[in-house]
Amino acid sequence: MAKFCYNCGKELAGNEKFCGHCGARQETETGAVIKGQPEETPPGVKNEPTNDLSQTDSAFSSEKKTTLPRQEFDYGQINKNLKVKNSQSRIVRGALWVTLAAVGVVAATILEGSPLYKMHVLSFIAGFIALSGLVTAWIFRLRAKKLATLISGENVVAAWQLSREEKSAYAGYLFSFERSKNLGILGIITFLIVVIFGLFILFIDEAKGAMALMALGLILLLSLFALSMPVYYRQRNLAGDGIILIGRKFAYVNGFFHNWDFPLSGIQKVKPIEKPFHGLYLQYYYYDRTLKNTEELHIPAPPAIDLRELARLLKPS
Q: What is the pLDDT of residues 173-226, one digit of tens each?
A: 999 999 999 999 999 999 999 998 888 888 877 778 888 898 899 999 999 999
**Planar angle of CA 209, 215, 219, nearest 5 degrees:** 145
**Planar angle of CA 234, 148, 287, nearest 5 degrees:** 70
At 68, is the secondary structure helix, strand, or coil?
Answer: coil
Q: What is the pLDDT of residue 18?
A: 56
d(CA 29, CA 265): 36
Residue 255: CB atoms within 10 A of its CB come to 15
Is the pLDDT score of 314 beyond 50? yes
SS3 of 124-145: the string is HHHHHHHHHHHHHHHHHHHHHH
- pLDDT band, residue 25 (cuts 50/70/90): low
d(CA 8, CA 73): 8
Q: Where is pLDDT greater, at 67 or 277?
A: 277
d(CA 89, CA 81): 20
Query: pTM above 0.85?
Result: no
The alpha carbon dihedral of 167, 172, 177, 179 has a sign of: positive
pLDDT, tens digit, 9 for 90 and up, residues 63-117: 333 322 233 445 555 455 445 555 667 788 888 899 999 999 989 888 888 888 8
Q: What is the pLDDT of residue 316?
A: 81
Asked if residues 88 and 144 have their Cβ atoms less than 8 Å apart, the reply is yes
Q: What is the pLDDT of residue 205?
A: 76
Of 105, 130, 129, 139, nearest in space to 119 by CA: 105
Domain regions of the chain by residue span: 87-161, 164-238, 243-314
pLDDT, tens digit, 9 for 90 and up, residues 126-144: 899 999 988 888 877 877 7
Of 247, 314, 303, nearest in space to 277 by CA: 303
Is the pLDDT score of 7 beyond 90? no
Q: What is the pLDDT of residue 204?
A: 78
d(CA 25, CA 5): 9
Contacts of 47 (CB under 8 A, 6+ apart): 39, 41, 69
Mean pLDDT rounded to a whole number for the chain? 76
Is the pLDDT score of 10 beyond 80? no
Asked if residues 291 and 32 have their Cβ atoms less than 8 Å apart, the reply is no
Asked if residues 242 and 167 have their Cβ atoms less than 8 Å apart, the reply is yes
d(CA 265, CA 258): 12
Identity of the residue numbered 306: D
Q: Where is pLDDT greater, at 171 or 65?
A: 171
Q: What is the pLDDT of residue 291?
A: 82
The alpha carbon dihedral of 267, 287, 242, 272 has a sign of: positive
Is the pLDDT score of 8 beyond 70? no
Identity of the residue numbered 251: A
**Planar angle of CA 46, 48, 52, nearest 5 degrees:** 155
pLDDT, tens digit, 9 for 90 and up, residues 213-253: 988 999 999 999 999 999 999 999 998 888 888 888 888 88
